Amino acid sequence: MPNIPGAPARFEPRPEPELERVSAPSPLPPSPLPPSPLAPSLRGSEIDGGLAVDRDGHFVPDREALALFDYFLSARGEVDDAEISARIRSEITTRLGQPARDEALAFFDDYLAYRAEARQLAESPRIAAAGDLERRFQWIRELRRKHFGAKTADALFGDEEAMVLASIESRRVSMDPDLSDDERASRFAAIEDALPESIRESRRRTRAPVLGWQHESAMRAEGASAAEIHAYREQTFGPEAAARLAELDQDRESRTR
């Protein structure tokens, strides 16, 4: 794996055992979006993300902080970068007291440096020439740990990286001509089981409607009654959802008559 040049990170995460996650206090309420200098695309929207501190008043870097930064940074191209940066620093200063304020400002500086270096890395000839998705992923993974340290990088990007690795491994399995259908299915199941529980639960929720529809179709093909379909829906999705689905069935039937 190649070394990626760059200055060392300025933000040093505190040891995890000392952290107790609490909501960050706001000395002043979050300021409403002004008509300028923010991009028109952000006007009238709610500010995403947030900032958190531990029980000792130290800043806790997490994905909510990145969501806050990215909310304003999404206006790049519409608003000058310096103005966006100034707005984010103002949000940090308004929301946090010391020592969290200076720690969050340092973390924001490192996040900007990481984004800039990631753009340079993506545009470099060696990355463009690298057809290996796994190699490109390892470069960006190394870059994240250089800027934020291993523990903080895992907290910030761990779920995303787990999804990318699962995608890479799934692609490798799907293209392996030596695997039987059963072996391939077993490998896919193992990849799924290796994902963090939060991701697996999210994927289960996303897939539930499709899987439910497929199961219902199979039940209907086997001659299941309306009462049996309703009982399955209640068991799978709950009584309220089952009632709504029954109403949709009635609406569809009335339109086809």
pLDDT in tens, 92-135: 999 999 999 999 999 999 999 999 988 887 777 766 554 567 77
Query: What is the predicted pLDDT for the residue at 44?
Result: 72
Query: What is the predicted pLDDT for the residue at 28?
Result: 41
Query: What is the predicted pLDDT for the residue at 114?
Result: 93
Query: What is the predicted pLDDT for the residue at 121?
Result: 78
Query: What is the predicted pLDDT for the residue at 214?
Result: 62
- Give the C-alpha separation, 179 to 202, whole Å: 29
Query: What is the predicted pLDDT for the residue at 53?
Result: 92
Query: What is the predicted pLDDT for the residue at 109?
Result: 94
Q: Are 14 and 149 in contact (CB under 8 A)?
A: no
β partners of residue 23? 52
141 closest CA partner among 125, 156, 161, 169: 161
Query: What is the predicted pLDDT for the residue at 101?
Result: 94
Q: Are 218 and 182 in contact (CB under 8 A)?
A: no
Q: Are 51 and 92 in contact (CB under 8 A)?
A: yes
Query: What is the predicted pLDDT for the residue at 21?
Result: 41
pLDDT digits (tens, 9 = 90+) for 61-101: 999 999 999 999 988 888 888 888 998 999 999 999 999 99
> What sign does the CA torsion over 73, 75, 77, 78 have?
negative
Query: What is the predicted pLDDT for the residue at 11?
Result: 52
Residue numbers of the chain with a pLDDT score lower than 50? 1-9, 15-37, 130
